[in-house]
Chains A and B, each alone.
Chain A
Amino acid sequence: MAMETPEYPSTDQLDRQIAVMLADDARLSFRKIAADLGVTEGTVRGRVRRLQASGLLKLVPIIDIASGGPGTGNGQQMLFITVKCANGKFDEVREGLLAMPLIRALYDANAAHRLIAVCVLSSLDEAAEITNQVLALDGIREAETEIVLQTIKYNTAIAPIATLEDIARAAASGTGDEAAD
């Protein structure tokens, strides 16, 4: 059965404006953001901390895929793997996929019998390796792999990033209840 999705912490216009200002340069000074938005630096700092704590904002370095990731001098390849799980096997398949470090992102879709994995690979050998690992999992009814040939658009600022763990943690600590000013 589909796992219940908990409530997300609420956000407001100021949260959105701060996220937009940080989007292309997460190292922008809070003083500058505060001045532009007409709030105090402490407010900006508090908002960023709260968003980070609830998993709704991540300030991270992204290496360009064409210039290669850790340990390589070469470009890398994105691969999507979509699996349909056999009845009752969803949790098992999900845990199996989460154990694979080449999988950078994992979502479920369409009432949770389907899992979508995003991999970043250094070579076709790695594509073969991950395909073999995934198909060897018990409980997969169907699997589809798609190699990304070309990226037309890629928004690094907006994405589905808040994981179930993030949300559960935020709900437990009550960070979602009120905006810290």
Chain B
Amino acid sequence: MISGGRSLSEEKPARRARGASLDEVDRRIIEVLTRDGRAQSTSIGEELGLSGNLVANRIRAMDAAGLMRVVALADFRVHGYKMLARIRLKVSGRAPIEVANELAASEDVLSVHITSGRYPVSCLYAFRNARAMLEAARNVYADIPGVEDVDVELLNNVYRYNPTVGPLGA
């Protein structure tokens, strides 16, 4: 049971501002969702001593505020991709953000970050075949102004994938 100053079971659907943070009740709900992302609100409520309505409202409110989302992560192979590479770019004479924005426009580019490293632009690029990978590596260099060097690393095996946190706003 979670004890609080007010009765949680009578709580109104929470309206939260973006930037608000998660409270203890939210965290306990998320803990149950980590075990089963599709657990019914009523069964989560039973486990935590809360009403099903409250749980449903909390999940909806966290989602609406951009604090937490229950997502389906699919392996890239489910989407018909065969290979995945991390491609990192050295940039000169141009702001990395501009290069990053050009890269992000491609549907096959899954994520783009600006980092503190030698290669300030880092992306995850998915390919349907080996030829697509070679073409992408060449085109990034030839077509995006400011790209000075390209580093391609073909990802092979996954040893761990345990996401609990991510940039949902991006």
On whether the beta carbons of A146 and B74 are closer than 8 Å, the reply is no
- Whether A76 lies near B170 (C-beta < 8 A) is no
Q: Which of B71, B97, B101, B119 contacts A156 (CB 8 A)?
A: B71
Count contacts on B: residues with CB < 8 A to the other chain: 69
Among residues of A, the one whose C-beta sits closest to the C-beta of B104 is A153
Closest partner residue, chain B, to A144 (CB atom): B117
Query: A57-69 vs B: 1/0 string, CB under 8 Å?
Result: 1111111111111
Given contacts A11-B77, A64-B67, A151-B111, contact A57 B72 (CB under 8 A): yes
Q: Does B33 lie within 8 Å of A61, measured CB to CB?
A: yes
Contact A59 B37 (CB under 8 A): yes
Closest to B36 in A: A59
In the complex, what's the smallest C-beta–C-beta distance from A67 to chain B, in angstroms?
5
User: Is B34 in the interface zone, CB < 8 Å from A?
Assistant: yes
Instruction: Please provide the chain B residues from 65 to 91 with a CB less than 8 Å away from any CB of chain A in the complex.
Output: 66-81, 84, 86
Q: Would A5 and B70 count as touching, CB distance under 8 A? A: no
Are A163 and B160 in contact, CB atoms less than 8 angstroms apart?
yes
Q: Kindly supply a per-residue 1/0 record for chain B positions 94-128, scoring 1 wherever the CB is within 8 Å of any chain A CB and 0 otherwise.
A: 00010011011000011111111111001110100
Question: Known contacts A108-B159, A161-B75: does B169 contact A64 (CB below 8 Å)?
Answer: yes
Are A60 and B71 interface neighbours, CB within 8 A? yes
Q: How far is the CB of B40 from chain A (nearest CB, A)?
A: 9
Complex formed: what's the CA distance from A107 to B86 in Å? Answer: 11
Q: How far is the CA of A114 from the CA of B121 in the complex (A)?
A: 19
Whether the Cβ atoms of A160 and B76 lie closer than 8 Å is yes
Q: How far is the CA of A19 from the CA of B97 in the complex (A)?
A: 31
Complex contact B73–A63 (CB within 8 A) = no
B20 at the interface (CB under 8 A from A): yes
Bound Cα distance from A63 to B63, whole angstroms: 10
Contacts of A111 in B (CB 8 A): 156
Q: Is the CB of B166 within 8 A of A61?
A: no
Query: Pick the contact of B104 from A23, A69, A152, A159 — CB < 8 Å?
Result: A152
Given the known A-B contacts A109-B86, A148-B114, are A156 and B69 also in contact in the complex, defined by CB atoms under 8 Å? Answer: yes
Instruction: A62-B70, A64-B66, A149-B113 are known; give 14 further A-B pairs, CB within 8 A.
Output: A26-B37, A26-B72, A59-B36, A59-B70, A62-B68, A62-B163, A62-B164, A63-B30, A64-B167, A120-B165, A150-B97, A153-B123, A155-B110, A164-B158
Chain A residues engaging chain B, CB cutoff 8 angstroms: 2-3, 5, 8, 11, 15-16, 19, 22-27, 51, 55-70, 73, 76, 78, 80, 94, 98, 103-112, 114, 116, 120, 144-164
